[in-house]
Amino acid sequence: MLSTGFSPLAGLRAAALGAAMAVLAACAGPTGGAGSDGVAVDANAPVRVALLVPYGSGDPGREQIARSLENAARLAQADLRNATIDLAVYPSAGTSAGGQAAAEQAVAEGAKILVGPLFSTETAGAQPVAARAGLNVLSFSNNSQVAGANVYILGTSFENTADRLVAYGLSHGLRSFGVAYPAGLEGEAARDAVTAAISARGATLAGTEAYNLSVEGIQAAAGPAAAALSGAGAQAVILTDGPSGGLAFISEGLRANGLTAAQFLGMQRWDVSAEALAVPALQGGAFAAPDPNLVAAFNGRYRTAYGESPHELAGIAYDGIAAVGALIAQARSQGGSPFSTQRLTQPSGFAGVNGAFRFSSNGRIQRNLAMIEVRNGQAVVAERAARSFDAVGF
């Protein structure tokens, strides 16, 4: 999970997925009637929707992400029911200036809502332009610092994941949590999200332990960290690192230095690496992730449509366009602006290919996540993601 850029979300059949994703998670309208504070939109005519993706960056990896996001958005557009959108793609180049320029062009060409851009820097560039035009932005970023005002983030945030992990631990009788994280801005942001979730859930913080992200740094920190967390009675330790970083080394180091009883919980997906799933120290641990069955169904549809696998971020573009379509369909039947604050933040939320999600009034996302446990080197669903928000607090 990249805190400054994006984020890196059971059982739906692929053939039925498109229709399911194009409707609201609950059919009831938002409490209090139709929203009227959004930009005026004729919901019975094609609605201009701007898609901001990082074309033009000159980086092959970002170009591939941009293509995957656009493809997923067009797949969602084809799946819409009772709504028609005019989808226009604007290159945002991966920079603040690119985000600003893309937003300016989108506004000039009549866009009614912006979906994207991907990076928080791009989003910061696009936000004031959209705000002056009275438009909302559904950013692909997972950085909560850019959420708020007219920006709603679609990427799964550290805060969202941390809350899921703490709730899972508490439901399994674990009340004392430690945090092990790599030093630096991203690690500290993840740590802060975990400590906030622990406080909000009424759990106990056993301690936070940082390490320099190198073999030598982890070796130096593992002994003192294990002693401190064991001494504080940590029943669970949340590891904010991922397979491409120091996850294997820190988990093995903590176990080797005596932290044997605490369960490991992961902020990032461990199943992206077969090597990580085979690490002895991670057996019995668990991490939060979108429902694998939903993700697999979407990936299958994408491969059928485009002859290649999607980037792991593609699903959030699908979700953004599907949500826009659902809001337009709702406005057609109930009146009012489809993109009002009231509609965007309705408690029922939206169905998504990465699970049910909804926006808070501060622009942050709550996405229902599954808990995946590592058993004998395999990732196994321990708790499915809730399919709605009926029994989920916000």
Residue ranges and CATH numbers for the domains of the chain are 14-156+293-363 (3.40.50.2300), 158-289+374-382 (3.40.50.2300)
Query: 197-218: per-residue pLDDT in tens?
Result: 999 999 999 999 999 999 999 9
Average pLDDT over residues 90-97: 97
Query: 167-187: per-residue pLDDT in tens?
Result: 999 999 999 999 999 999 999
Indicate if the pLDDT at residue 7 is higher than 50.
Answer: no
Instruction: Order across the sheet with 113-115: list the strands.
Output: 85-91, 47-53, 113-115, 137-139, 151-153
User: pLDDT value at position 34?
Assistant: 53
Distances 334 to 261, 325, 328 between C-alpha atoms, Å: 55, 14, 10
User: pLDDT value at position 19?
Assistant: 35
Q: How far is CA 289 from the centre of its chain?
A: 9
User: pLDDT value at position 24?
Assistant: 37
DSSP 224-265: HHHHHHHHTT-SEEEE---TTTTHHHHHHHHHHTT--SSEEE
Question: 220 pLDDT band (50/70/90 cuts)?
Answer: very high
Query: 25-52: per-residue pLDDT in tens?
Result: 333 333 334 555 889 999 999 999 999 9
Indicate if the pLDDT at residue 327 is higher than 50.
Answer: yes
DSSP 73-131: HHHHHHH-SS--EEEEEEE-TTSHHHHHHHHHHHHHTT-SEEE--SSHHHHHHHHHHHH
Q: Provide the mean pLDDT of the chain.
A: 90
Distance between CA atoms of residues 254 and 262, nearest Å = 10
Average pLDDT over residues 330-357: 95
Distance between CA atoms of residues 341 and 360, nearest Å = 10
Residue with tokens 């591939």: 64
Residue with tokens 């009772």: 82
Q: pTM of the prediction?
A: 0.87
Nearest to 391 by CA among 342, 345, 348: 348
Apex 269 CA angle, 175 and 72, nearest 5: 130
Tokens of 33: 């009637």
Apex 363 CA angle, 358 and 366, nearest 5: 30
User: pLDDT value at position 393?
Assistant: 47
